[in-house]
Amino acid sequence: MLTQPSYRSLRNPTVAIVGATGAVGAELIRCLEERDFPAAGLRLLASARSAGRAMTFRGAPVEVQALGEDSFAGVDLALFAADADTARTYAPLARAAGAVVIDNSSAFRMDPDCPLVVPEVNLESLTWSRGVVANPNCTAIILCVAVAPLQRRFGLRRLQVATYQAASGAGAPAMQELLDSTRAFLDGRPFEPQVFRHPYAFNVFSHNDAVDPLTGYNGEESKVMAETRRILGAANLPVGVTCVRVPVLRAHALAVTAEFDAPVPPSAVRECLEEAAGVRVIDDREANHFPMPVEAQGQGDVLAGRIRRDLGDPSGRSVAMFLAGDQLLKGAALNAVQIAEQMLVA
């Protein structure tokens, strides 16, 4: 079993990014730079086909190295932005070399020895980290940033969620497929999908994760439900989720109905969200201006609006709202860097 790490080595850490050339990896580099993270050095790691490529950090070129068993010598903090198989293979090697790991894949999210952290929600869980910290599913992060303050103030009985997920959730190839297929559609040219099974331009379809034949829920929906319960510390919370891909390049949106322990007026929900860390309320009924992916992208807040009583619940305990958040930032890279920043002061 891994031993509890000391975060003293993270005061001015040498940082490695695994999957540096992907969409999340590029955002990790940008977040470290824009937030002036005190990295003593940066090591960029990716597949062999990306080795030798130069990326820029703080105005200087950094050469991408091929990921290998010896990649973590001298590394204090390893930020993983790769798939789950890569994380399962290389995170133990990073830990053995003395690095603390923050992993963005699904590999460790339900491991009881690895905390699943959203800093605005459950930062206290970092105290029992064994050296691998899991970054939650992007949709679960966006949901929990908005729902957690409501849970704390009003109590929470149930969540019902429908998601509108952007191409960014499936990585850079999916974003490129959306661009290419849209150009082809507008030009009247045929286009054969490569990343997804279905046409992406001007279309919506069920999230591309495999569907469980017994439950009817796909893998993304199951992850969001399980991780939301874990992040909120509510193992028995009823959560229902339907996840859909929409032809948006970047930033996810969620339609959420929350049932509380007692009747709650929408005005109280709005007030709570206005005070919540990491949330920005956009709820202008007169102008019909509510959260949109185009305004969520490129910034770190979760946008919340369309706050209204759920007329389908005569008890008055349920409130509906609409959220939007940048999947690559708060849903991935920014959340990971915020976790690392908290380790600096641990």
272 has catalytic annotation:
no
Please identify which of the residues 138, 144, 243, 272 carries the catalytic annotation: 138
138 has catalytic annotation:
yes
Residue 326, class by beta-carbon neighbours within 10 Å (0-12 exposed, 13-18 middle, 19+ buried)? buried
Q: Which of 2, 89, 9, 11 is nearest to 45 (CA)?
A: 89
Q: Which of 91, 93, 121, 113 is nearest to 104 (CA)?
A: 91
Please identify which of the residues 31, 207, 252, 272 carries the catalytic annotation: 252
The widest CA-to-CA distance across the chain, in whole angstroms, is 62
End-to-end CA gap in the chain: 22
Looking at the DSSP assignment, which residues form a beta bridge with residue 78? 16, 101
> What is the rounded distance in angstroms from the CA atom of residue 279 to the CA atom of residue 302?
5
> What is the rounded distance in angstroms from the CA atom of residue 332 to the CA atom of residue 28?
8
- Take residue 171 and report the two structure tokens written for it: 């990585």
Cβ–Cβ < 8 Å for 258, 238: no
Catalytic residues: 138, 252
